[in-house]
């Protein structure tokens, strides 16, 4: 397949890489746009992992109001004020706030789950009828898997992103780290739903 300038531009827009890198990726993939996009995203995620060590103290507090019934405030940090004012970054923050409104996570990430809550859920799962008669080491492995799934549904970064359920919110953020070249951290969020008691 031939590499077109339109594909190069589109790949560049989606991944934030330079024209030369986009062209090389398409040439390597023999003009297969989807294969080139997958490869560039993978490289971007690898770079994003390295950037995640850098301190992020700039950023914005974004808000989202759904039908005057659900309100969300979310703090997302980056490294510089320049990126904080960038449209790509502000759209990311809006998307995260909208996701919080729709999916109602309880925590930003698994690290935020209180140890006592995790332990209480573990004991509850271990005591279930489904595990009666199973060897202790097998039951432990099953429960670890169940715990991972249970808390993944409650952690923002592990939830499938509402605009693209094929990726989770954490990967969506990493994509933006690769695009913008800075560490990005979802610091905290608050969600208020009309009539709900906290």
pTM: 0.70
Do residues 41 and 163 make contact, with C-beta atoms less than 8 angstroms apart? no
pLDDT in tens, 7-66: 877 777 766 666 777 788 888 888 888 887 777 766 665 555 555 566 788 999 999 999
Strand ranges (DSSP E) for 118-184? Answer: 160-161, 164-168
For 193, what's the count of Cα atoms within 13 Å in the CB-facing half-sphere? 9
Average pLDDT over residues 169-193: 92
Residue 137 has pLDDT above 90, yes or no: no
Domains, the chain, ranges and CATH?
A: 5-51 (1.10.8.10), 58-108+154-193 (3.30.479.20), 114-152 (1.10.286)
Instruction: Calculate what percentage of the chain has a pLDDT beyond 90.
Output: 45
What confidence category does residue 172 fall into, taking pLDDT thresholds of 50, 70 and 90?
very high
Strand partners, 64: 72
- What pLDDT, on the 0 to 100 scale, is given for residue 17? 67
């Amino acid at each position: 397949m031939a590499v077109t300038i339109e594909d190069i531009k589109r790949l560049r827009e989606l991944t934030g890489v330079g024209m030369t890198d986009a062209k090389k990726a398409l040439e390597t993939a023999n003009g297969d746009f989807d294969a080139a996009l997958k490869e560039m995203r993978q490289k971007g995620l690898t770079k994003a992992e390295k950037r995640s060590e850098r301190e992020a103290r700039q950023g914005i507090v974004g808000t989202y109001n759904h039908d005057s019934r659900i309100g969300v405030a979310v703090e997302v940090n980056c490294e510089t004020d320049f990126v904080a004012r960038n449209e790509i970054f502000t759209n990311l923050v809006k998307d995260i706030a909208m996701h919080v409104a729709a999916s109602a996570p309880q925590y930003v990430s698994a690290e935020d789950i209180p140890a006592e809550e995790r332990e209480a859920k573990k004991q509850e799962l271990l005591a279930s009828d489904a595990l009666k008669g199973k060897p202790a080491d097998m039951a432990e492995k099953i429960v670890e898997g169940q715990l991972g799934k249970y808390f993944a549904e409650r952690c923002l970064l592990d939830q499938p992103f509402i605009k693209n359920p094929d990726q989770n919110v954490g990967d969506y953020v990493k994509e933006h780290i690769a695009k913008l070249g800075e560490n990005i951290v979802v610091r905290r969020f608050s969600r208020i739903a009309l009539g709900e008691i906290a």
